[in-house]
């Protein structure tokens, strides 16, 4: 059986500004967001949340879904643009 060549993962269309606005609107700290993400099975440090909001790092797909759940918003609201690719639509619908 042949293995398929690995394809590079496309970056998640994450909007740091939207994530920061949602967190601020809920009056949550990065610690609380990290705890909320842990409740959805993704454990990480609050410094990751800060780095995402600063645009220094991008979340993985699993982290993107978990942060949207921790912030009580649909994933599409944390995207830079409206979904345009199949990956974007899949992430927006949590498929």
Written as tens digits, the pLDDT of the chain (95 aa) is 555 554 456 788 999 999 999 999 999 999 999 999 999 999 999 999 999 999 999 999 999 999 999 999 999 999 998 888 888 888 888 86
Contact criterion met (CB below 8 Å) for 33 and 70:
yes
- Computed over every residue of the chain, the mean pLDDT equals 89
What is the SS3 assignment for 14?
strand
DSSP-derived secondary structure for 28-85: --HHHHHHHHHHTT----HHHHHHHHHTS----HHHHHHHHHHTTS-GGGGBSSS--S
Q: What is residue 86's predicted lDDT score, i.e. its pLDDT? A: 86
Q: What is residue 24's predicted lDDT score, i.e. its pLDDT? A: 97
What is the SS3 assignment for 1?
coil
Estimate the crossing angle of helix 61-70 against helix 30-39, to 10 degrees: 110
Kindly give, in sequence order, each residue whose CB lies less than 8 Å from that of residue 46, ignoring residues fewer than 6 positions away: 29, 30, 31, 33, 34
Q: What is residue 27's predicted lDDT score, i.e. its pLDDT? A: 97
């Amino acid at each position: 059986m042949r293995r398929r060549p690995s394809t590079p993962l496309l970056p998640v269309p994450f909007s740091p500004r939207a994530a920061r606005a949602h967190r601020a609107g809920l009056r949550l700290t990065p610690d609380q967001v990290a705890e909320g993400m842990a409740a959805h099975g993704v454990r990480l440090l609050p410094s990751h949340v800060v780095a995402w909001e600063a645009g220094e790092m991008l979340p993985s797909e699993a982290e993107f879904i978990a942060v949207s759940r921790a912030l009580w918003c649909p994933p599409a609201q944390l995207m830079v643009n409206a979904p345009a690719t199949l990956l974007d639509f899949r992430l927006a619908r949590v498929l």
